[in-house]
Structure formats: structure tokens, C-alpha cells
Amino acid sequence: MNILILGLGSVGQRHLRNIKKTNPNAKIFALRKKYTTPLLNNKNIVIKGDIKKKYSITYLENLNEIIKNKINLHCAFVCTPSSMHVDQVIWLLKNNINCFVEKPLGSSLKNINYLEKLLKKKNKVKTMMGFQLRFNPIINFLEKIIKKKSPVGKILSIHIHHGEHIEDFHPYEDYRISYAANKELGGGVVLTQIHEIDYFMFLFKDYLIEKSNFITSKVSDLKINVEDNMYATFMLKKNKHRISCSMLLNFYERPKKRKIFIIGKYGSIEACLNSQKLTIYKNKRKIIKKFIFSKNDIFLKEIKFFFSKIKSNQKIPDDLNLYNGVKTLRFALKLNKFKL
């Protein structure tokens, strides 16, 4: 396979490692705006070596070199800052190149309507969003609980919490220059932690959002020009069933916390995405369910899924492709009215 990677920061290098693991003979092409990120391992720790030499990468100066040099690409991975995604995806679609796009799809609604029209026109091109938590066994388990029968009875309320300090994201770089810290690159807690918004929409896709309220603000002394926290509440409705839901995202919490709390008629459930443990409290009993997998396992699952659809020439479902990316981005941007 001939594969293009746009951007070789931490997530670009993760996909690069996984591509080589799943397709060792793949020919890698890459386009980088900056060459500042060093060679990293799966834990984002700097290791000795040169990325280009280690993976036999052919660097390109611009996308037009693909056409000029008649490079037959099987797919591309878009791993650049969020603000660059939409324009790059439009170019790839116009040139019939299957594309995997890291979250979020973009940082504004600019050219989104045009992109949607292009997706319909180029419906044979395979696209996929990099929402790897869709392949997380805990999220899959919670989907079954919400969709079918909850072990704690009728679900009454849910709280989603994701707090992690921005300085801990990429220990190898100054957080102040990272995309997450800069508005012009598509940063901010809402778009950076959009995974929570995506799986919220996925878990409750059969529910109507009856009411919603939200606050985005900057309360820390972090040197960033974007929001560092978001708090939202939703009232969900399905027939006569109502669920109250809250969501808290922040850029300043230590130790990091990533949990989902479910309160039902007969008990409660606490799912921790960091410890990979789910605890069910019912009838004064505590049942612990452990999920054993590495962080990289779910990244591997998603690209294996992507490659399988390319090789079998099968459509990627709309809840995983760029149609979902558009839907999630639109919803996320509605939740963020922050101005510095």
C-alpha cells in the first residue's frame, strides 16, 4: 500500500507505527509543515533516531507533488492541526483519495457545507473519523447497557467527566505552542476533548436533546488563548423516558480523571476510562468488571477497520465516517461561545 500521512506529531507518529505494524511493506509518504516533533514511542517519550530513516519515509513539499509524480495513493491520514483539516480533506476527496481524519474534523464551519456536498458526490471514496473511543470495550459495553437492559434499572441521570492538565499531553513540547493551546490552530478544551462529545452523541443517538445549557470559560492561569473548561447539561428524551445528563471538560485537572457515572433506579455504575474498570453498585453489593487492553489497542482496531473497508471495497458506516465528523463538529461548536 502507498500511504500518505499529513503531519507527524504525536498522533501522526502513532498511526505511522501502527500502519507499519499492520502493513509492514507499506510505502510511506509524508507532508510536514514543521519538523519540530522528535521520534516518539507509544508513550510519547522521545527516543533516539530519525523518523525518516527509521520508517523509510518519502517527504513531499506539497500535495500537488502527488499528482505531478503520479503517486498512486491507497489512502491518507490527516493528522495536522485541526484548523487545516477541512481544506486538506477537500483536496483528498477531489483527487479520489481515501482518507482517515483525526478528530476534530475542523475548527469552524468554514467550507463545511461544501465538504458535505463533496462527500455526496465522491460517495465511493472511503472516509473515516479518528474517534478511537468508539473501539473502546468500555464504551461498547455502555452502549449495550443504554440500548438494551441496564443492570441498575431505568437510567435516570449520567455525568461525563474528563479533566487532564494540558502540560501533561505532550511532555516533549512546551504546551503554549501546542495546537490545543492556540485558537488559530483549532485548540481549546471543547475541540481537543471532543471524544466525550462524540461518544455522548453515539450512546444517546436514539434520544432527543430536549433542553441544553452550557458554559465555556477560562478560569486557570494557563498561557492559552482558548477556553480551558466547559460545563454542559442536557435533558434527553426517548418516548416517555427522560435522562438528565451533565458533562465537564477541563484542561487543568491533576491527577487526570476520565469517568462516566450512571445513576439508575436500583443502583449506579462508575466507568473509569483511565483504569479500564467498571463498577456496578446494586443492592448493597459491588461488582467490578475489568477490561484489559492497552491504549494503543483501540488505535490499532480503528485503522484495521479502516484498512479492511478499503481492501474489501465496503462502505464505512455514516456513524464512523466524515458525515459523523460533520455532525459532531457542528454540535461541539454550538457548545463553545468562548471569547478571550
Predicted confidence at residue 33, as pLDDT, reads: 87
CA 119, CA 326: separation in Å to the nearest integer?
Answer: 11
- Render 221-253 in DSSP notation, one character per residue: --S-SS--EEEEEEEEEETTEEEEEEEEEES--
Q: pLDDT tens digit string along 226-260?
A: 999 999 999 999 999 999 999 999 999 999 999 99
pLDDT in tens, 53-84: 999 999 999 999 999 999 999 999 999 999 99
Say whether pLDDT at 338 is over 80.
Answer: no
* The three cell numbers locating residue 9: 506529531
Phi, psi of 117 (to 5 degrees): -65, -40
User: At 334, phi and psi to the nearest 5?
Assistant: -65, -30
User: CB neighbours of 155 closer than 8 A, spacing ≥ 6?
Assistant: 146, 243, 262, 263, 264
Q: What residues contact 188, with CB distance under 8 A and at least 6 apart?
A: 180, 216, 226, 227, 336, 338
Q: What is the mean pLDDT of residues 301-327?
A: 98
DSSP 161-172: EEE--GGGT-TT
Torsion over CA: 95, 98, 101, 105 (sign): positive
Measured in degrees and rounded to the nearest 5, phi and psi for residue 129 equal: -90, 145
| Strands of 99-102's sheet in order across | 58-59, 27-31, 2-6, 75-78, 99-102, 127-130
- φ, ψ dihedrals at 303, nearest 5°: -75, -30
List, for residues 102-154, the tens digit of each pLDDT value: 999 999 999 999 999 999 999 999 999 999 999 999 999 999 999 888 999 99
pTM above 0.85, yes or no: yes
Residue % of the chain over a pLDDT of 70:
100
pLDDT at 340: 62
